[in-house]
Structure formats: C-alpha cells, structure tokens
Chains A and B, each alone.
Chain A
Amino acid sequence: MDFLTDPLALNIFRQALIAAVVMGATCGAIGAYVVLRRLAFIGDALSHAVFPGVVLAYVAGLPIFAGAMVAGALTSVVIAVVSRGQRIREDTAIGIFFAGAFALGIVLISTQSGYQRDLSAFLVGDLLAAGWDDIVVSALTGAGVIGVLVALRKELLLVSFDRTYAQALGYPVFVLELLLLLLLTATIVVSLSAVGIILVLAMLVTPAATARLLVDRFTPMMVLGAVLGAVYGIVGWYVSYYLGWSPGGSIVLVATLAFLIAFIFSPSHGLLAHRLRRHPQHSARRAAIDQPSGHDHVEAGEAVVASLARRHPPGR
C-alpha cells in the first residue's frame, strides 16, 4: 500500500487530494440534476461566465469565490432578461454571453504580467496551487451545496420532474430553479482549482450519466454520482502523480473511461445487455417496455432559463 500512502507525506499533496475529492463528490451529486434537466449547456455557460469574476477578484486581491459567484449570478440574470424577447432564443443568448464573458476574462488576464501560466491554471485547474484556506472554503461550500440538495430533495425533485404540478401545489418554482442555478455556480467555483473552467463540464455530466446507466431511481443516482465523482478524483489524482500528467486532465480521463465501461457493460442499460435482450425470449418484455409514450420534447434546460425570463409555463 506504500504507493498509496507515499504521496500523502507532503502537505501539498494531501491538500490536492482533498480538493479533488470535494470537487468530484459535489459535481457528481448536482450532476443528477444537470443530466436529468439537460442543464449541460447552461453548466458550460456558467463555468465560462465565472471566468471574468475570478480574474477580477484575483487582480483586486479579493476572494476568488466571491468574484466567481457574483459573475455567475449576474450572467444567469442577463441571459434570462435577453431571452425574454421573442427574437433571441435562450440558447442563442447563452452562447452570446458565455463567450462574451469568457473573452472579457481573457482580455483582463492578458493585461496582467506573466498571464500565460495563470491562465492555464484557471482553464484546466492547478491542484497544487490550492492552499489550506482554499481547501477549507471549497470543502465548506461543497458540503453546503450537498446539504441544500439533501434538505430540499423533495422540492427540487418535484420541480425537476413536473414543474407545472409544483406550481399547482404552490411551490415557488422560480425561486427553486434559480436556487438550482446558484448551486450549480457554487459547484463550478468549488471545482476550479481541481479541473478548471473547461473540464468542469465533464465532472458535472460524466459521473451522473454513468450512475444513470447503473441505477433506476433518482436518489441512488445522486448518491452514486457523488461517490463516483469522489472516486474519479482520487484515482485521477494518483494517475497524475505517478505518470506526471495534468491532474485535471487525468481525473476527467478516468471519468470518461469509467463511463465507456458502464456504457458497454451496464447490466440494465449497457450495449451488451441490449444486444442480449434482443434475443427472442426477452422480446416480450421489451415490447412491454418499448410501448410508453416517451415524448422527450421538454427541453428542460431551456425551461429553466425561460422560467427565469417569464414566470409562467408556455401557454396553450
């Protein structure tokens, strides 16, 4: 077991490992919503949109966390306001502002001396740069995000599955959906030091998508997503330690590989299982399962943004 414990002799490596675990668990937990509500594009947008906030806070010597949260929240609101008009669709508005905000961050950082190294740290993460202060803030934030997800599990599940019904029951749908975006922003900020802006999307989506292939209920999916995210963080970090690869890149590659394995071998939803199920003796069961009226037309990601713009579901 020496190869597991050796790296932990140094404080800096212990910190890095903790940061990787916090990032993986938080991303994996909220990832259940990102996957089921199709928020991947919004998650990508938010991760890029926090960039100028991070840079500004960094330049001004303010807490990076605060800068990122403010930028993420502002971007959510701007996207919501612009897409209120008929002429600009939500996804277009998201595209405009996430690239725009990202460009602002790049310009800001290019005005600083020695920006090349710092830029790459923001983009792909730099686990070894995290100090204890950062770790504590990250761990508390991650625990906070997971705590809110657990405390509001009924309400968030209800709004995600059937927002019209949630409204009919009198739940504040708009507030809950905005809260979900803010939790997403906080998760992205927690993840910056480990995987950076570009790769965080993978951690928001991949562990949860893998969990979706392995379990058939929401709560197990969220728990498994968090566990997988943490495991990917640990395994990826050791891989990067011993092979000298980029930590962020290694973690995401481990996650991607695990997804591919589940995609092929999952007992319930894997490619192999589907092949086997085509076999005649299973066809009766498939027929029963294939029958449902599976309309997939609700673009939930759009719905969230649309609901931020108008507080009402599409009219009929």
Chain B
Amino acid sequence: MTVAISTMLQLRGLAAGYDERWAIEGVDLDVPAGRLVGVIGPNGSGKSTLLRAIIGLVPRRAGSVALDGGAVDLRRVAYVPQREAVDWSFPISAEQVVMMGRYSRIGPLLGPGTGDRRTVSDALERVGMGELAQRQIGELSGGQQQRVFLARALVQEASLLLLDEPMTGVDRGTEETITQLMRELRDAGATVIYATHDLETAADVSDLLCFVNGRVVAFGAPDETFTPKTLHATFGGELMIMTTGDHSHVHGGGHHGAHSHADER
C-alpha cells in the first residue's frame, strides 16, 4: 500500500548563480510537507544559493520552483539569512528586529497593533530572549542575535522556513534551542529547510538530508544517504574526521575554526 505524500516544494532543473559561473545546476527536488530537511555540502557548494534561489534572492538561470504547485508566495516563506549580513551598530532593539517579521502582514502606512506586539513578545519568550527584548541588537552575543532572527522568522507564521547556516558560530545552548524550535515547527506542520556544516547533528536532527555540491548528490532519509559514497561524492578530499576523547566528529571541511562553541555568554 502506498500513501500519497504531498509535495510542498518542487524544484525542476533549477540552475542559479551570478555571472557566468552558476553555483548550482540541474537541481530536481521534491520536498514533502512537514519535514525537517538538512542541506549539507562544503563551502562554495551552493547550499546558500539553493536556499536563496527558492525565494529568488539569487537569479534563477533555468528550471522552475513551485510551492504547493504554484508560484512561490513570499508571504508563506520565512528566510533566516546568515548572521553577518546586517549592520549591528543600527539603533534598533531586538524587539524591533522581530517586529520586522510582521511588516508584510501589517501592511502599508500602518504601525503594529496589539496583536502584533503580543505575537512578537511570545516569539521572543519562545527563543529565550524575553528579558533582552529591549537590548540594542549589537549588544547581544552571536547566539542571542541568532535567536532574535529565529524569532523574526517565527512571527511570520510561515509554512516554509529556510535557514542559512543557523548553527554556525553560536553557543551550545542556542544550538539546542534552534534544533528544538525546528522540530516544533515541523511538528506543527511547517516545512523546515536549513543549511549546515555539521554532518553529525544534521544526521541526528533531520528527517531528510540533501547533499549538495553544485548539484544534488543525494536526497533522502539519513539512513539511506549518510554513506561513505555520498560523503565522498559531496566533500571529496575535504572531509575531516576528528577524534576527540571518545567521540569522533565528522566535519565538512573548508570552514575556518571548525564549529565554534566559544560564543557562550
């Protein structure tokens, strides 16, 4: 007996990138609704480009993207960019940053209503940032900043969430918060796609893994895809296996300083 699985996000022959060199090519992907998908690949493999091409942040050169069979409605998608992309000295509070996630719902000319304010403070509580809501965004640690951006995605109440390396450069506590939240969102019916370096966490946390290196190398459940063959095809010689104590860590190489847990406040 086969159960029909509804495809939420469908990519067909997608190519995207700037200038002559396309970062990804020939991407075919069917992402079912309500799944947590980890996108894995070395630096420059097109992980970010893949996420960004879905919402048109990187020019699409070929192929198509369909959300529930239609054009991508950006109001249904929440995107969490890599953390470095904003001006941290900007005179704006954590709460105000989160409120930006409500802007497209508030509509032109108007200001936020009490409902919006409640949604924002709930989201801040949920990511453990309730007490720091009034802090200027640059005064927060890296992990705290990432929680704020996560809260901003939460208040969009989106059905598809795209997170670009949310765990890079954050402390252990934030990493756990993010993992927990992604699971909760998935359980609530949303589709969550995130890019990561951390192979082991990705394999533990994700329902599906998508190995990327300029194209999709493999896509499926961790049991099926987390094999030496796909790892080699994705990372080539860049793969590092580090043994520390009784744990061995597998890292997609190429990023400096490995995985930083030094950001604890």
Closest residue to B16 on the A side, CB-wise? A315
Contact for A217 among B49, B93, B108, B265, CB less than 8 A: B93
**Chain A residues with CB under 8 A of B48:** 316
Residue from A161, A164, A170, A300 in contact with B97 in the complex, judged by beta carbons closer than 8 Å: A161
* A315 close to B92 (CB less than 8 A): no
**Cβ B18 vs Cβ A36 within 8 A:** no
- Decide yes or no: A291 and B141 within 8 Å by CB, A161-B90, A170-B104, A296-B87 being known contacts: yes
Query: Which residues of the partner chain A approach B56 to less than 8 Å between Cβ atoms?
Result: 167
Min CB gap B115→A, angstroms: 16
Q: Tell me the smallest distance from the CB of A279 to a CB of chain B, in Å.
A: 20
A315-B85 in contact (CB<8A): no
> A11: CB under 8 A from chain B?
no
Given the interface pairs A294-B88, A313-B57, the reply to whether A164 lies near B103 with Cβ below 8 Å is: no
* Interchain CB contact under 8 A, A292 and B91: no
A168-B23 CB under 8 A given contacts A288-B139, A298-B87: no
Residues in chain A near residue B131, CB distance under 8 A: none
Within the complex, the shortest CB–CB distance from B64 to chain A, in Å, comes to 18
The B82-100 residues at the A interface (CB cut-off 8 A) are 83-93, 96-97, 100
Q: A162-B86, A218-B91, A298-B87 are in contact. Are A169 and B74 (CB under 8 A)?
A: yes
**B55 surroundings in chain A (CB, below 8 A):** 168
Q: Which of A152, A160, A289 sits near B139, CB closer than 8 Å?
A: A289
A164 touches B88 (CB 8 A): no
CA distance A278 to B59 in the complex (A): 49
Task: Choose from A152, A155, A169, A294 the contact partner of B138 (Cβ within 8 Å).
Answer: A294
Q: Do B81 and A295 touch across chains, with their CB atoms under 8 A apart?
A: no
- The distance in angstroms between the C-alpha atoms of A160 and B91, with both chains bound, is 11
On whether the beta carbons of A295 and B84 are closer than 8 Å, the reply is yes
Is there an interface contact between B88 and A217, defined as CB atoms closer than 8 Å? no
Contacts of A289 in B (CB 8 A): 139
CA–CA, A36 and B138, complex, Å = 14
Complex: A316 Cα to B265 Cα, angstroms? 30
A312-B87 in contact (CB<8A):
no
* Chain A residues whose C-beta falls within 8 Å of the C-beta of B97 in the assembled complex: 161
The answer, yes or no, to whether B234 is at the interface (CB within 8 Å) is no
CA–CA, A316 to B21, complex, Å? 11
- Complex CA gap A246/B9 in Å reads 66
A215 adjacent to chain B (CB < 8 Å): yes
In the complex, what residues of A have CB within 8 A of residue B152's CB? 165
Contact with A along B1-38 (1 / 0, CB 8 A): 00000000000000001110001000000000000000
Contact (Cβ within 8 A) B87 A161: yes
Task: Determine whether B140 belongs to the interface, using a CB cutoff of 8 Å to chain A.
Answer: yes
Residues on A with beta carbons closer than 8 Å to the beta carbon of B91: 36, 212, 215-218, 221
B19: min CB distance to chain A, Å: 8
Tell yes or no: A111 within 8 A of B by CB. Answer: no
Closest to B102 in A: A154
Assess whether B57 is in contact with A315, with CB atoms less than 8 Å apart. Answer: no
Q: Which of B81, B89, B141 contacts A164 (CB 8 A)?
A: B81
Closest-CB distance, A156 to chain B (whole angstroms): 11
A-B residue pairs, 7 tightest by C-beta: A170-B74, A315-B18, A168-B79, A162-B86, A292-B138, A164-B81, A294-B88
Give 27 A-B contacts (CB < 8 Å), ordered by A residue: A36-B90, A151-B108, A151-B109, A154-B103, A157-B100, A158-B103, A162-B86, A164-B57, A165-B100, A167-B56, A168-B55, A168-B79, A170-B74, A212-B91, A217-B96, A218-B91, A291-B141, A292-B138, A292-B140, A293-B83, A293-B84, A293-B88, A296-B87, A313-B57, A315-B18, A315-B58, A316-B48
Q: Which residues of A contact B (CB under 8 A)?
A: 36, 151-152, 154-155, 157-158, 160-162, 164-165, 167-171, 212, 215-218, 221, 288-289, 291-298, 300, 312-313, 315-316
Known: A158-B103, A165-B152. 14 other contacts (CB 8 A): A36-B87, A152-B108, A162-B85, A165-B81, A168-B57, A217-B91, A217-B96, A289-B139, A292-B142, A294-B138, A295-B88, A296-B88, A297-B84, A315-B18
